[in-house]
Amino acid sequence: MPQRVAFITGAARGLGHATVRAFLGAGWDVFFTYRNSREEACELLEEANRLGRRAVARQVDLMDKQAVLDAVHACLREFSHVDALVHNFGPFVFERVALAEYTDDMWQRMMTGNLDNFFWMYRALIAQMRRRAFGRIITIGYDGAGGAVGWRFRAAYAAAKAGLASLTRSIAREERQNGITANMVCPGDIRGAHKAQLIREVARPFDPLGRPPVGEDVSRLIVFLCEPNSQQVNGTVTEVTGGYDILAYDDGKDVVAEEPLYGTGDAVWVFPWDAPGRVLEAARVPNRHVVYRVESGTKTGSFTAAQLAHFDGE
């Protein structure tokens, strides 16, 4: 069987970085694009070399049609084929902007960066996937994209991603008999440096709730969807949010309201540790249960009230 090759957009940093690492770890070769993050791109190339895999990084303006097509053709020259297209790139407006205040340029950036460039790449790659009777197409959405859920002050981004979800499902219907699948993956609230990290890099053996969500939580699903035996998983929109309501948090609406049961210094019994402990802090986070930072001997960990009980020392 020929070596599997993934083409991944916007992959030097963030979730794309973790996705390249996941594919390399799974034995794939990778061609990925980046815009400005040359140092991070070089780190991925070094990791590929350590793993004995081939990787190519190309600096590309993904808003430029010819540059996008040139990158696709460069990948095909290098590897001769592409098995998986992962469209990780997708511009986002971090400021909260009402739709009526969008400029034409702002609107077009959302549409081109999330929809148009995907269409350009899809059209350039689909024929060779059909000929080889194998292809995996992955798009990236947001919590609610599969249901075209409205997102206040993020309307243009939400519209683009909802359109991308529909395109993904349409491709799944059109190409299923050609051995090609198309699925969307929707990340949750993964922040900062955690986006590029693997699970083992943040694991805390004594702190069951303390591990933050990281890029690998998303990328491990992407790799699974691209496996040959995943052919029956097709046309899906899967949310990797940990059950966390992203839109409610962004709108400032709490869906969890809980008063602290324990205060700083309280003695508690920690069920996961089967040991007594003392509360260091009770953190109230919008849209989440109160999280208690607890110390027991040399261990510290984070727990909800369900994992704790009052302890009187007996």
284 shares a domain with 237: no
Phi and psi, residue 114, nearest 5°:
-105, -30
282 shares a domain with 152: no
144 inside domain: yes
274 shares a domain with 242: no
302 shares a domain with 207: no
Residue 177: pLDDT band with limits 50, 70, 90:
very high
152 shares a domain with 123: yes
Q: How many domains does the chain have?
A: 2
301 shares a domain with 177: no
105 shares a domain with 235: yes
Give the chain's end-to-end CA distance (angstroms, integer).
Answer: 64
Region 244-267: mean pLDDT is 80
215 shares a domain with 73: yes
204 inside domain: yes
Region 184-192: mean pLDDT is 92
284 shares a domain with 150: no
Q: Answer whether 213's CB lies under 8 Å from 203's CB.
A: no
DSSP annotation string for 207-276? -TTTPPP-HHHHHHHHHHHTSGGGTT--S-EEEESTT--HHHHHTT--S-----S--TT-EEEETTTTEE
**Segments in the chain forming alpha helices (H):** 14-25, 38-51, 65-79, 104-111, 117-132, 155-175, 215-225, 246-250
171 inside domain: yes
pLDDT tens, position by position, 118-143: 999 999 999 999 999 999 999 999 99
Query: Which CATH number is 40's domain given?
Result: 3.40.50.720
d(CA 226, CA 215): 17
Angle at 131 between CA 128 and CA 137, to 5 degrees: 55
100 inside domain: yes
172 inside domain: yes
217 burial type by CB count under 10 A (0-12 exposed, 13-18 middle, 19+ buried): buried
262 inside domain: no
84 shares a domain with 29: yes
> Other C-beta atoms within 10 Å of 287: how many?
18
162 inside domain: yes
Residue 314: predicted pLDDT: 61
Last residue of a domain, one of 207, 222, 250: 250
59-73, 165-179, 221-235, 243-257: segment of lowest average pLDDT: 243-257
Residue 288: pLDDT band with limits 50, 70, 90:
confident
Rounded to 10 deg, the angle between the 155-175 and 117-132 helix axes is: 20
pLDDT tens, position by position, 51-104: 999 999 999 999 999 999 999 999 999 999 999 999 999 988 888 899 999 999
256 inside domain: no
> Other C-beta atoms within 10 Å of 307: how many?
18
Q: What letter represents residue 103's amino acid?
A: T
Q: Answer whether 40's CB lies under 8 Å from 11's CB.
A: no
Q: Which domain holds residue 298?
A: 267-310
59 shares a domain with 98: yes
245 shares a domain with 130: yes
